[in-house]
Amino acid sequence: MHVDLLIRNVRLATLSTKVDAPYGTIDEGLLAVKDGTIAWVGAASEAPRFDSKVELDGAKAWLTPGLIDCHTHLVFAGNRADEFEKRLQGVSYEQIAKKGGGILSTVRATRAASEEELLSSALVRLARLQGEGVTTVEIKSGYGLDEETELRMLRVARELERRVPVTISTTFLGAHALPPEFENNDDYIDFICETILPKLGKEKLCDAVDVFCEGIGFSLEQSGKVFEKACALGLPIKAHAEQLSDLGGAALVAQYRGLSADHLEYLKAEDVAVLKKANAVAVLLPAAFYFLNEKQVPPIQALRDAKVPMAVATDCNPGSAPIASLLTAMNQSCVLFGLTPEEALTGVTRHAAQALNLANQKGVLEAGKDADLVLWEINHPNELSYGINLTKPSRIWFGGNDVSRS
């Protein structure tokens, strides 16, 4: 068989459920790429004969799927280092938000920034993620809160995909905070549903719709209204749920057959089964937990027992998670939340793909999937969760193209 790229002599962490071994490991592996997708993957001893334009001896390094950061707010202007200082003097994240700081301070900076400014600052953060082997990134709007800026953020997110060899999945998070032009949440939610969402649906600027279902965000009823409209437009939904308190946002996601419920520190036991039943992903964001110095850990053991798919993401944003390192988030998920390194790696590959509705294309090394691949000179995939800034990929392929130096 004629292929474009043949990688021999590698250890494969396929993360595939079809391979019955930890990490879906195939020790003496071989992987062939044709037309940007994985044409064949498996044990070298079982491989058919290939002739290839390009061949690589992996020298027993480990090959994993490209990593997927399934929850970020990567496009924004400014930073919130001043609030970081205030918090260290004893003012809480919620108090800062109530005084018009927090998300609204980033909204002011983002509204004032041009498309070029937003693009160039996001490119810096995206390059950091990409350099760690991240080949798919979800990016939310939500620092505009008016039609013009929300659309600008989403356009910038789409443009990033043209500039960097990564897949970008965009999410509309209009229901992130109440903008100053509106007196109450209900009027703003009506504006989102009647004005912005129909426009986004038409222009295909977002792949999903998110809400901040929280005391300092939007109520269950308001979140439900947004979901109702998103579903009518055929857009999948997800939510920031149970981050600082338990409003029941995760169960609402389940009710609307959403892709994921994210954060979940305050998720109650009975809602774990509800998530499982709806096959929704629990997206864990340990960097936000770390940076806000939270104390309540998500119910990991209950999620694990119920076999709810758990993903791990950076939540990269200026307020609660100023971090552009998915490998660090993996480490934090293990140290702070008690995930195993295998759960952490599954959380940034197979389960992260599911959280973005991309499970058919990405997240595992299986024939037919996109050839987004990362080669690591490590002795075991647990090293990806173990060190902080110790491990970097030695090669990265995006859609079968070597993009190691992009």
Reported as half-sphere exposure (CB side, CA atoms, 13 A), residue 265 has a value of: 18
Output the DSSP codes for 1-21.
Answer: -EEEEEEEEEEEE---TTS-S
Residue 143 contacts residue 210 (beta carbons within 8 Å): no
Ramachandran region, residue 14 (left: φ > 0; alpha: ψ -120 to 50; beta: rest): alpha
Instruction: Compare residues 31 and 288 and give the one whose CB is closer to Fe ion.
Output: 288
Q: Is 106 in the site for ligand NIG (CB under 6 A)?
A: yes
By the rule CB under 6 A, 314 interacts with ligand NIG: no
**Rg (alpha carbons) of the chain, rounded to whole number:** 21
Over the window 68 to 97, marking each residue x when it contacts ligand NIG by CB under 6 A and - when it does not, the resulting string is: -----x------------------------
Residue 317 pairs in a beta bridge with 321
Stretch 285-344 residues interacting with Fe ion (CB under 5 A) = 315
Backbone angles phi, psi at 265, to 5 degrees: -55, -40
Judged by CB under 5 A, does residue 69 bind Fe ion?
no
Between 246 and 315, CB nearer to Fe ion: 315
Answer yes or no whether residue 29 interacts with ligand NIG by CB under 6 A: no
Task: Compute the least distance from the CB of residue 233 to ligand NIG, in Å.
Answer: 23
Residue 169 · residue 201 · CB < 8 Å: no
Task: Map residue 186 onto helix, strand or coil.
Answer: helix
> Distances from the Cα of 116 to the Cαs of 136, 137, 376, 392, in angstroms?
22, 20, 34, 29
CB of 285 to ligand NIG, least distance (A): 6
β-pair partners for 29: 10, 43
Q: Contact region for ligand NIG (CB under 6 A) — 3-11, 227-235, 317-325, 383-391?
A: 317-325
Nearer to ligand NIG, 34 or 80 (CB): 80
Return the residue of 16, 317, 331, 346 that touches ligand NIG, per CB under 6 A.
Answer: 317
* Token pair recorded at residue 148: 């013009």
> Should residue 288 be labelled a site residue for ligand NIG when binding is judged by CB under 6 A?
yes
With CB under 6 A, what is the number of residues at the site for ligand NIG?
13
The residues of the shown chain that bind Fe ion, judged by CB under 5 A, are 315
The residues of the shown chain that bind ligand NIG, judged by CB under 6 A, are 73, 102-103, 106, 212, 240, 243, 288, 315, 317-320
